[in-house]
Amino acid sequence: MNIFIQMWRSLFRTGVTDSPVHRVFRVVVNFSLHLHPARVSKNGIKTTYTFCLGGLNVLFFVMTAITGGLLMIYYTPDVDKAYANMLDLENVIPFGTFLRNLHRVSAHAMVIAVSLHMLRVFLTASYKSPREFNWVIGVGLLLMTFLLSFTGYLLPWDQLSYWAVTVGTTMAENTPIVGAKGPFSVLGPEEDMRFILLGGTSIDQPTLIRFYFAHCVGLPGALVGLMALHFWRVRKAGGISRPL
Amino acid sequence: MNDKIEIKERLRLLTVIREEALLRQRDIYPREEKVDTWPNLLVKELIALLIFTIVLVVWSLVQDAPLEELANPGLTPKEAKAPWYFVGLQELLVYFDPWIAGVVFPTIILVGLALIPYLDPDPIKGVGRYAIGKRKFATFCFIFGFTMWFALVAVGQYFRGPGWNFYLPWESWDSPKEVEVALTNFPLVAGIAFLACYYILGLGIPAVTFQNFFWRLGLIRYHITMILLMTMMLVPVKILLRQVFHIRYIVQTPWFNI
Ligand code: HEM
């Protein structure tokens, strides 16, 4: 066999012949395409039906994950180093600014796309049986997306992040019953919700490391797990919703 | 290349079951025209991927991520704003105490969203198309909440300056704002009566006026739906009370205020 043909065939396990069976085969045997069914309903792939929003969420997530991984190489979750790391990214590391920008922009895009995806699913009544629980999983994805963005906000350790997170975590202090300043509070400031969240009574090293873990490991892990469930449910519901 | 399919793996076919047979009985399935995923769907996905990758790259080339001075707990900035997607909740702090704006509302929003599929009494209306006219009540509730969230974000993000005072986007933040007008509270009894009437009438009147609607939802669905709706409407009501009637709290107690 010609060496190039051999290489090509080792890469793509099916030939290039085109026939209905080949088309089906090509999707079914390909690992990265097996998330898809071999055949899809015509209504579901109309661009003006989904506006690609679910898929775009995946793209934006993958983009934040790749750029995030690269950023982790240059970042130390230490209050004495984090800000200096940011300055290095801006001034020393080649394409550091671009990397940071791309990470931030993809995260913003994801917050927007996840909201619009929810809107489209609602407007097409796609949450109705048998997709009720997939909508609930979606609400989980929505929450994870927001929390990911929020925890990432603290990491640059500049004035912007510090005070934005101050605003956010003050809310925890006001939780009824379990917040030190909330109505009917039973816990003091050294044992309440905010204390658990910050790892102390003010935003400091313990907070940074908590947010860092949540942002880089905990929340992305949860998001990937929920996404897998989400896609599996889309398939099990018989594909994308369509007129009944 | 020969025309026969080349199957390199040895596959053993046990049985073929029609997709429909695997689905649960109660699920309603349309018979609908299908097309091959390759190339019909995959080509679209590739195009979307390329376009939006370019969008992200261009966007990050033209806009730099902000980086301010090193975090300094001793120096409160002129305006401390939450990240933009939470600014709507921060804007609500003008109208509600933090335990409501920051804890109770977000919880109700998430729980309410998750309950939507179980509250909607109709299993098929509008599925698979943008048939908003067929689901007027559902669409109204959702769009109202969705729009309000982003309207509050916009106000908080673009119209609030130092001290969370109202500034037009082109106004200088240096021009000081006059101190806020004096606010009053409802007397305790009147406030409790107001809230009680608000919910009782809000739940009662539609139940009597739209009896079909009431019976279609049933007791439990109806009450959850309407309590969620009336709670959402509390936001515009409270904004109105404050901005027009200069009322700060509807109910004020030593333990909590609403
Ligand atoms: C990280 C976030 C999310 C990702 C990556 C994601 C991904 C997807 C994808 C790829 C689909 C296939 C159809 C399409 O592209 O529209 C889908 C469908 C669906 N999503 Fe999401 N989604 C996310 C968040 C959400 C949220 C927030 C909700 C609702 C609260 C939701 C509810 C649904 C439902 C019910 C379907 C089935 C729609 C149908 O069959 O027409 N998802 N999702």
CA dist A39 and A41 (Å) reads 7
Count of residues making up chain B:
258
**Cβ proximity of A168 and A115 under 8 Å:** no
Count of residues making up chain A:
244
Q: How far is A214 from chain B (nearest CA, A)?
A: 17
CA dist B54 and B45 (Å) reads 14
Which segments of chain A are extended strands (E)? Answer: 39-41
Query: Is the CB of A53 within 6 Å of ligand 1?
Result: yes
User: pLDDT tens digits, residue range B6-59?
Assistant: 555 566 677 776 666 665 544 555 556 788 888 889 999 999 999 999 999 999
Model pLDDT, residue B71: 92
CA–centroid distance, residue A102 to ligand 1 (Å): 24
Q: Which of B114, B21, B132 is nearest to A132 (CA)?
A: B114
| Secondary structure letter of residue B24 according to DSSP | -
Ordered by start, the domain boundaries in chain A are 49-236
- Residue B179 makes CB contacts below 8 A (sequence gap 6+) with none
Number of DSSP helices (H) and strands (E) in chain B, helices first: 8, 1
A186 CB near a chain B CB, below 8 Å? no
User: pLDDT tens digits, residue range B197-228?
Assistant: 999 999 999 999 999 999 999 999 999 999 99
Model pLDDT, residue B180: 65
CA dist A107 and B70 (Å) reads 23
CA dist B128 and B214 (Å) reads 26
Q: How far is B245 from chain A (nearest CA, A)?
A: 26
Model pLDDT, residue B25: 47
DSSP per-residue string spanning A140-206: HHHHHHHHHHHHHHHTT-BHHHHHHHHHHHHHHHT-TTTSTTSTT--S-TTTSHHHHHHTSSSSSHH
CA–centroid distance, residue B204 to ligand 1 (Å): 36
Model pLDDT, residue A43: 83
- Residue B133 makes CB contacts below 8 A (sequence gap 6+) with none
| Contact at CB, B35 and A45, closer than 8 angstroms | yes
CA dist B91 and B104 (Å) reads 15
A103 interaction partners in chain B (CB closer than 8 Å): 65
Helices A96-123 and B136-158 cross at an angle (nearest 10°) of 150
| Contact at CB, A102 and B63, closer than 8 angstroms | no
| Contact at CB, A23 and B61, closer than 8 angstroms | no
CA dist A219 and A97 (Å) reads 24
With tokens 């977000």, the residue in question is B106
B24-to-A91, A233, B20, B123 alpha-carbon distances in Å: 59, 14, 8, 15
CA dist B118 and B138 (Å) reads 12
pLDDT one digit per residue (tens) for chain A, 244 residues: 789 888 888 887 766 677 777 777 777 777 777 788 888 888 888 888 999 999 999 999 999 999 999 999 999 999 999 999 999 999 999 999 999 999 999 999 999 999 999 999 999 999 998 999 999 999 999 999 999 999 999 999 999 999 999 988 888 889 998 888 888 888 888 888 999 999 999 999 999 999 999 999 999 999 999 999 999 999 999 889 988 8
Share of chain A above pLDDT 90, in %: 66
| Contact at CB, A41 and B5, closer than 8 angstroms | no
B98 conformational bin, left if phi > 0, alpha if psi -120 to 50, beta if neither: alpha
Model pLDDT, residue B81: 87
Return residues 3-62 of A near B (CB < 8 Å).
13-17, 19-27, 29, 33, 36-43, 45, 47, 52, 55-56, 59-60
Overall fold of domain A49-236: Cytochrome Bc1 Complex; Chain C (1.20.810)
Phi, psi of B257, rounded to the nearest 5 degrees: -125, 145
CA dist A84 and B67 (Å) reads 11
Query: Is the CB of A238 within 6 Å of ligand 1?
Result: no
Of B35, B52, B97, the CB nearest to A39: B35
B75 CB near a chain A CB, below 8 Å? yes
CA dist B36 and A20 (Å) reads 8
Q: Average model confidence (pLDDT) for chain A?
A: 91
CA–centroid distance, residue B42 to ligand 1 (Å): 18
| Contact at CB, A182 and B99, closer than 8 angstroms | yes
CA–centroid distance, residue A117 to ligand 1 (Å): 6
Considering the entire predicted model, what is its pTM?
A: 0.89
What is the greatest pairwise CA distance in chain A? 79
| Contact at CB, B56 and A106, closer than 8 angstroms | yes
Return residues 110-139 of A near B (CB < 8 Å).
111, 115, 118-119, 122-133, 135-136, 139
Q: Per the structure block, which two tokens stand in for B230?
A: 């009336």
